[in-house]
Chains A and B, each alone.
Chain A
Amino acid sequence: MSILNKFRGKSLWMLHYCTGCGAIEMPPVMTSRYDMERFGIIPMATPRQADILLITGYLAVKTLKRVIRTYEQMHSPKWVVGFGACTVNGGMYWDSYATIKKLELYLPVDLYIAGCMPRPEAIMDAFIELRKGISSGKYEGWKKYIENYDWYKKNQAKLFDVKKWSVNYE
């Protein structure tokens, strides 16, 4: 499996779910200034073709439903990167009634990028780290999601009707 992981790390397609203000840091990363294509990462249009789910910013419960649906549509192996303070502990929305505080309770986050917001340098740094981690088989959040499906669904069910918003939920 290690040889597969090695190749996986070299070519990653990223689905960026731009909910919050963090999306503004993505254009410099994608375009010629920082140019993430140097590292084999390009933005992808649909969840079914993507490897990385990048969540840039706060998630309201309303958007979390859509994110979970998106995540479950992606093919394994897949990785989740939480971007910015909002995904870590709520950030400046720590007392908002509408947004979730800790993303790792609902989705298996492989890597967090701290900061409000993280600069393109930090994003590049995280991508390089992710690439290395994937090549060495360190990041296996998608396996944890399958193994602990009930635990994740229990957390999600506290906020909304999981039957309606999950793919293939029995």
Chain B
Amino acid sequence: MSDFITRLKNITGLNIHKEKLYQASLKVDKEKIRKTLLDLKKEGFLQFTTLTCIDWIEEKTFQLVYHLWHREEKLHLKVKIDIDRDAPIVETVSDIYIVAQTYEREVKEMFGVDFKGNKRLIPFILEDWNEIPPMRRDFNTREYVKDMYETEDRTEEIFKPRWKKYD
């Protein structure tokens, strides 16, 4: 495993560090993400597992994590990039890994990150959504729940359902 990481470091010139057995991570600049993923794909990272986003609201950044899997060497590599939270635009990787198209669509919907060049950034799961993207940390879920859904008992209840009582 360590041999492979060393070899990978020498070939690609990337600063990969091992975190656990079978797991390593790597941080690159936002501009280099496409080149990095192309290099890694050539080295045998054929599976794009998922794309996740972390909202670091204090640092005003979104961190995108691209999870890759190397089947022969059994290495799970996490490629991380930081992007500006106020202007979250990043280049798509959906032409390198076609599955990324859907993950980018999800991140776009849940965090509002825009992916330049993704041909299919249409709405994904949410319907009739008018608020800011719900997974952003400045979206106040409880406030929204309080406004949208009633949780208190009403006094002028029109129809009170019966309960199955156990006694």
A residues touching B (Cβ–Cβ < 8 Å)? 61-62, 65, 82, 89-90, 94-98, 100-102, 104-105, 108-114, 122, 125-126, 129, 133, 138-139, 141, 144, 148, 151, 158-161
- Would B145 and A160 count as touching, CB distance under 8 A? no
- Would A144 and B148 count as touching, CB distance under 8 A? no
B58 at the interface (CB under 8 A from A): no
Give the residues in chain B near A105, CB-CB below 8 Å. 150
With A and B bound together, what is the CA distance between A112 and B166 in angstroms? Answer: 12
B72 at the interface (CB under 8 A from A): no
- Would B161 and A114 count as touching, CB distance under 8 A? no
Give the residues in chain A near B19, CB-CB below 8 Å. none
Interface size, chain B (Cβ < 8 Å): 23
- Would B162 and A110 count as touching, CB distance under 8 A? yes
Q: How many A-B residue pairs have CB under 8 A?
A: 73
B151 at the interface (CB under 8 A from A): yes
With A and B bound together, what is the CA distance between A126 and B162 in angstroms? Answer: 11
- Would B158 and A151 count as touching, CB distance under 8 A? yes
With both chains docked as a complex, state the minimum distance between the C-beta of B125 and any C-beta of chain A, in angstroms. Answer: 8
B32 at the interface (CB under 8 A from A): no
Known: A114-B163, A138-B162. 12 other contacts (CB 8 A): A62-B127, A90-B151, A94-B151, A97-B139, A97-B144, A98-B134, A101-B145, A101-B150, A101-B151, A110-B161, A111-B161, A112-B162
- Would B164 and A113 count as touching, CB distance under 8 A? yes
Interface residues of B in 120-136 (CB under 8 A from A): 125-128, 134
